[in-house]
Amino acid sequence: MELSERIMELIQKGYHCSQIMMQLSLDLREKEEPFTIRALGALGGGMFVQRTCGTLTGGVCMLSSYFERADGEMEPVEYKQCAKELVEWFEMEQGSIECRDIVCFDSVEIMKVCPGLLERTFMKCLEILEEHGIDPT
């Protein structure tokens, strides 16, 4: 299935952008983690107050899922760099990281903007991982 088709399938099933970002990553890894997908639902619609875009927060969470750490350890430096790269790229691409600025929380605008934004952001996450020597599969 093409990436754009999978994104539309998940949208039609009612998933939020944050959930879609992680589900696409789980699909690549052939994993199922329904608890994680449910938890990421809280990031939908800019945390339901039109703040930080769920595609971005989902992407940062997706990147984090590739970095192991033991109990009590801080986030790996490599993860922080990956997250920083994604946030900077996203803001340059969109001009904002706020859901309200990107789609004005309008359902027509969401369907015009979000599928393509999800696809580009997912591909950027894969690129960032690969640039840091991480196989996303």
Query: What is the distance between the alpha carbons of residues 15 and 96, in angstroms, rounded to a whole number?
Result: 22
98 pairs with which residues across the strands? 52
Q: How far from each other are the two terminal CA atoms of the chain, in whole angstroms?
A: 16
Give CA–CA dist 30/50, Å, rounded. 31
Predicted pLDDT of residue 64: 95
Q: What span, in angstroms and rounded, lies between the C-alpha atoms of 45 and 15? A: 11
What's the predicted TM-score (pTM) here?
Answer: 0.93
pLDDT at 75: 79
Q: How far apart are CA 26 and CA 104, in angstroms?
A: 29
The residue ranges of the chain whose pLDDT is under 50 are none
